[in-house]
């Protein structure tokens, strides 16, 4: 194999793909997970995931049959785990589009190694999220009332309700994310079609690669479409969680009725999304031998984003308290003191520990560069962000204005199975994804290889003379594919 490049000969920065991999080797490395013959481990993972998905189906069926009462909800706590899970999954669904759209517009070429799987994660997370608002309503069979469908009652939904905004925001986000992901997949699907050895694969990939032949015209259209979708997706990344936060902020409940919610929710969403990307990719890069493509450098970059957004979230917690005190509103102040020291203090401190305290370890380089520690941290982030939504949703409802109506929410076994089941859906989709679709955006990774640069000249030490005068190249010998 080729010698290790310490620096990208064209950009003069550390290389994004280690090991001076050729295009061919890249293609083989990315296609390997899909083309392996031994699927036993995959079947185990898939079996576990599908079992959990079955649990979801059972839970939801029982829910529809029996009623929302199988959950632990009560009066005053009208929203419990369903809404917590919804916000949790929507939040996770933020990282992918952020990576592929916003980082794309900012020309962050390191995104190419992780954007495909992050986007897939986004789509699966939003699918999980979409289940909950659907099933948490009391009369599921009437849920279509939420959509502006012309009907004999001449009845529109109530456009003043944030729940309705949610319907539009999340469905738009899901549609655009799916399209964006699919457009990005087309060149890679064509690669897979060309590599296909079975008829089924040939037809399957053939249909979805839309006749891609890699012509200049194709590339031109592709680049424009991708750019437009990136432009469309970028505001959606910010708007979805802003609108989800309106579910709470637009109400008048102490602890919900807060103007800081939109930015705070977006920061939290990105935080949780990157947490989940790390949770998925740290094992995946090992399992699928992609450590040279998804490098420690990538993990480090994501960790930095986690540190930034985690600190933003911590700042928001502090600012909520400050405003509660500064407003002089006793109901508001009580709501926040009650969060810290009231009946749900345990949940609050889990949230603070996982979201504010542990991410601060990322300041240490050794932590940032240790995949194992980052993996553990990412699990904490996931737990912490779930509890953040729990704290916001449940503590505010449980103790509001009239002490006489205060209550305490206890989940039931069905709350738990529905939540676990949503992980079943998520991992089932992810298993199918790794089996049938390239885990890494192959075309894009290739495009950021030194070889993709028109100025690349292996004879001249890697780069065309005169373009990068004085650049020091540690390893002039590059094997050409």
Partner 1 sequence: MSDTMKHPRHWRSLDELSTASLDAATAAGSEMAAAQTLDGAAELTVDGVSRRQFIALMGASTALAGVGLEGCVRKPVEHILPFAHRPENMVPGRPIYYASTWQLGTSVAGVVVESQDGRPTKVEGNPEHPASRGPASTFAQASVFGFYDPERSRTPMRGDAPATWDQAWATFDEALAPVRAAGGEGLALVVDTVMSPTHRAQLAELSRTMPKARIFVSDRLWPAEAFAGAAMVGGPKALAVPSLAGAKVIVALDGDVLVSEGDALRHARDFAAGRAVDVPKPDMNRLYAIGPVFDATAAMADHRLRVRASEVGTVLRALVATLLDTPGVDAGSAGGLKAALGTPALDDKQAAFVKALARDMVARKGQAVVLTGHRQPAWVHALAHLANTLVGADGKTVTWRRDADRVEGQTLAELKAGLDDGSIKSVVVIGANPAYDAPGELKLAASLAKAGFIAHAGLYRDETGALAHLHMPLSHYLEAWGDLSTLAGEQSVVQPLIAPLYGSPSPIELTARLLTGQPAKGLDLVRATWTRASGGGLDERAWRRWLHSGLIDAPAPGGSVTPSYAQLGANIPAPAAAPAGYEVVFTLDSRVLDGRFANNGWLQELPDTITKLTWDNAALVSAKTAGELGVVPGQMVKVGAGSGSVELPVWVAPGVAERTVVLPLGFGRKNLGSVAEGAGFDVYPLTTHGSPWLAAGASVAAGVGSYELATTQTHDRLEPGFDFPARPLVREATISHYEEEPRFVEAAELMPPDDIRSPFQQPALTGAQQWGMTIDLNACTGCNACTMACNAENNIVVVGKARVLKGREMHWIRIDRYYVGDDPDEPQAVVQPVNCQQCETAPCETVCPVAATTHSPEGLNDMAYNRCVGTRYCSNNCPFKVRRFNFFNYNLDIDAVAQMQKNPDVTLRFRGVMEKCTYCTQRISEARIAAKVAGSDVIADGVIQTACQQTCPTNAIVFGDLRDPQSRVSQLKASPRNYVLLRELNVQPRTSYLARIRNPNPELV
Q: Which is nearer to partner 1, 254 or 273 (CB)?
A: 254
Cβ closest to partner 1, residue 410 vs residue 465: 410
We find the least distance from the C-beta atom of residue 63 to partner 1, in angstroms, to be 11
- Closer residue to partner 1 (CB): 247 or 444: 247
- Footprint of partner 1 on this chain (CB under 8 A)? 66-69, 72-79, 136-140, 142-143, 145-146, 155-158, 160-164, 167, 247, 250-253, 329-331, 333-334, 337-338, 341-342, 397, 399-408, 410
- 168 vs 208, beta carbon nearer partner 1: 168
What's the closest the beta carbon of residue 142 comes to partner 1, in angstroms? 5
CB of 105 to partner 1, least distance (A): 33
Please, what is the minimum distance in Å from the beta carbon of residue 255 to partner 1?
A: 11
Contact by Cβ (8 Å): 282, 296:
no
Residue linked to tokens 């997970």: 33
Question: 237 vs 398, which CB is nearer to partner 1?
Answer: 398
93 vs 81: CA distance, rounded Å = 18
Whole-number minimum distance, CB 157 to partner 1, in Å? 6
Task: Give the nearer residue to partner 1 in terms of CB position, either 157 or 461.
Answer: 157
In terms of CB distance, is 403 or 454 closer to partner 1? 403
**What are the beta bridge partners of residue 457?**
462
Least distance CB 259 / partner 1 (angstroms):
14
**What's the min distance (Å) between Cβ of 244 and partner 1?**
13
């Amino acid at each position: 194999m080729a010698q290790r490049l310490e620096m990208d000969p064209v950009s003069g920065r550390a290389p994004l793909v280690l090991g001076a991999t050729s295009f061919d080797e890249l293609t083989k490395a990315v296609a390997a997970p899909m083309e392996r013959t031994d699927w036993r481990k995959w079947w185990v993972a898939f079996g576990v995931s599908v079992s959990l998905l079955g649990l979801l189906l059972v839970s939801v069926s029982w829910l529809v049959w029996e009623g929302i009462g199988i959950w632990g909800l009560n009066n005053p706590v009208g929203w419990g785990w369903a809404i917590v899970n919804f916000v949790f999954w929507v939040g996770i669904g933020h990282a992918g589009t952020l990576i592929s759209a916003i980082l794309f517009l900012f020309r962050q070429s390191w995104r190419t190694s992780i954007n495909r799987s992050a986007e897939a994660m986004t789509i699966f997370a939003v699918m999980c999220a979409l289940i909950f608002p659907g099933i948490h309503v009391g009369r599921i069979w009437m849920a279509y009332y939420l959509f502006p469908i012309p009907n004999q009652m001449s009845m529109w939904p109530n456009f003043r309700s944030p729940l309705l905004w949610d319907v539009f925001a999340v469905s738009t986000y899901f549609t655009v994310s799916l399209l964006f992901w699919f457009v990005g997949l087309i060149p890679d699907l064509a690669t897979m079609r060309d590599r296909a050895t079975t008829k089924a694969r040939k037809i399957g990939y053939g249909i979805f690669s839309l006749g891609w032949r890699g012509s200049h015209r194709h590339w031109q259209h592709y680049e424009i479409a991708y750019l437009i979708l990136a432009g469309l997706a970028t505001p959606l990344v910010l708007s979805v969680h802003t609108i989800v936060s309106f579910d709470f902020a637009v109400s008048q409940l102490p602890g919900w009725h807060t103007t800081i919610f939109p930015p705070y929710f977006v920061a939290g969403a990105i935080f949780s999304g990157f947490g989940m990307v790390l949770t998925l990719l740290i094992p995946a890069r090992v399992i699928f031998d992609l450590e040279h493509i998804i490098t420690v450098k990538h993990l480090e970059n994501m960790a930095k984003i986690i540190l930034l957004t985690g600190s933003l979230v911590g700042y928001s917690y502090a600012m909520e308290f400050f405003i509660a005190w500064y407003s002089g509103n006793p109901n508001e102040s009580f709501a926040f003191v009650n969060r810290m020291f009231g009946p749900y203090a345990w949940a609050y401190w889990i949230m603070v520990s996982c979201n504010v305290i542990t991410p601060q370890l990322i300041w240490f380089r050794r932590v940032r560069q240790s995949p194992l520690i980052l993996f553990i941290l990412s699990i904490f982030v996931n737990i912490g962000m779930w509890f953040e939504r729990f704290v916001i949703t449940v503590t505010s409802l449980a103790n509001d204005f009239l002490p006489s109506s205060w209550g305490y929410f206890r989940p039931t076994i069905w709350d738990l199975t529905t939540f676990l089941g949503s992980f079943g859906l998520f991992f089932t989709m992810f298993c199918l994804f790794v089996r049938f679709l390239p885990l890494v955006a192959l075309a894009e990774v290739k495009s950021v290889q030194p070889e993709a640069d028109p100025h690349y000249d292996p004879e001249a030490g890697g780069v065309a003379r005169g373009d990068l005068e004085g650049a020091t190249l540690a390893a002039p010998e590059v094997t050409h594919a």
